């Protein structure tokens, strides 16, 4: 299977969304104190990076 740049960016976007959802879920369900806000913020950051990866598809 040959992976070009767009395929790699697609997989990176999928993995970043998956990890972001996991971090937000940890913040909501596992850590209910101040650290939960940190997990949620980092999860939102993962979504932002995944959005950038998705926007780069077809341009690099």
Confirm whether 26 is domain-assigned: yes
Confirm whether 46 is domain-assigned: no
Give the pLDDT of residue 18.
96
Q: Give me the residues of the chain with pLDDT under 70, please.
A: 1
Give the pLDDT of residue 45.
95
Report the domain count for the chain.
Answer: 1
Confirm whether 45 is domain-assigned: no
Report the distance separating Cα 1 and Cα 26, nearest Å: 34
CB 54 within 8 A of CB 46: no
Give the pLDDT of residue 32.
82
Domain that holds residue 26: 1-32
Confirm whether 16 is domain-assigned: yes
Confirm whether 37 is domain-assigned: no
Give the pLDDT of residue 59.
78
Give the pLDDT of residue 44.
95
Confirm whether 53 is domain-assigned: no
Q: Taking Cα atoms as reference points, which of 40, 44, 14 lies closest to residue 26?
A: 40
User: What 8-state DSSP symbol labels residue 33?
Assistant: S
pTM above 0.95, yes or no: no
């Amino acid at each position: 299977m040959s992976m070009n740049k767009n395929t790699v960016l697609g997989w990176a976007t999928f993995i970043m969304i998956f990890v972001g959802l996991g971090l937000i879920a940890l913040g909501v369900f596992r850590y209910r104190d101040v650290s939960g806000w940190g997990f949620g913020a980092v999860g939102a950051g993962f979504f932002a990076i995944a959005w950038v990866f998705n926007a780069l598809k077809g341009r690099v």
